[in-house]
Amino acid sequence: MVYFKKAVHWLSAIMGRIAGAALVVMTLFIFVHVVMRSLIQKPIEGTFEVTGYLAAVAIPFSLAYAAVERSHIVVDIFVRKFSPQIQAVIDSITGILGAALFVLIAWYNAFYATKLWQIGDVSTGLRLPYFYFVYGVALCSAVMSLVLLIQVVESLVRVVKK
C-alpha cells in the first residue's frame, strides 16, 4: 500500500505541475494578447480558444494534487461535533461516493474522447482535436478516484487503531 500511495502521490504532483504550467502559460498568453491589442491593434488570433484549452488542462490536472495536499474547502460545521470515529466513518462514506463519482467521470470521458477521436472532431478556429483534452480529464478523474480511495483506507485505519 505504501508504494501504491507514493506512486499515486507522485503522479498527482506531476499533474499539479502540469496544471501550474498551464496556468502560467495562460496568464502570459492573455497578457501578450492584451498588450498586442492595445499597442499595435493586432490581437493574437484564437486567444479565446487557446485560453479555454489551457483552462481545460489547468483545472482537472490540479484536482488530485489539491486532494493529496488536502487544500480543498471542507465545510465541517456539523461533522466536527461528532467523535473522531464517527468523523472517520463520515469521511469514508463521502470518500467512497466521491471516488465512485470520479470513476464514472473517468469512464464517460474516456468513452467520449474515443468517439471524438473516431469521428475526427476538431475545433472550429485552430482546428485542434478535442479528444486529447477529454482524455486528459479522464486520466485526471481516474487519479482523483485513486487519491480518494487511499484517503478512505487511511481514514478507516485511523478508526481501527483507536
Compute the average pLDDT of residues 70-96: 82
For residue 162, pLDDT beyond 70: no
Taking alpha carbons only, the member of 71, 47, 53 closest to residue 137 is 53
- Asked if 99 contacts 149 with a C-beta cutoff of 8 angstroms, the reply is yes
Mean pLDDT calculated for residue range 96-107: 96
Give the count of beta carbons closer than 10 Å to the beta carbon of residue 26. Answer: 18
Q: Which of 66-80, 85-99, 137-151 shows the lowest mean pLDDT across its residues?
A: 66-80
Q: Model confidence over 7-66: pLDDT tens digits?
A: 999 999 999 999 999 999 999 999 988 998 888 888 888 888 889 999 999 999 999 999
- What total of structural domains would you count in the chain? 1
| Structural domain boundaries, residue 10 | 2-161
Identify which of 145, 156, 153 has the alpha carbon closest to the alpha carbon of residue 8: 145
Q: What is the model's pTM? A: 0.86
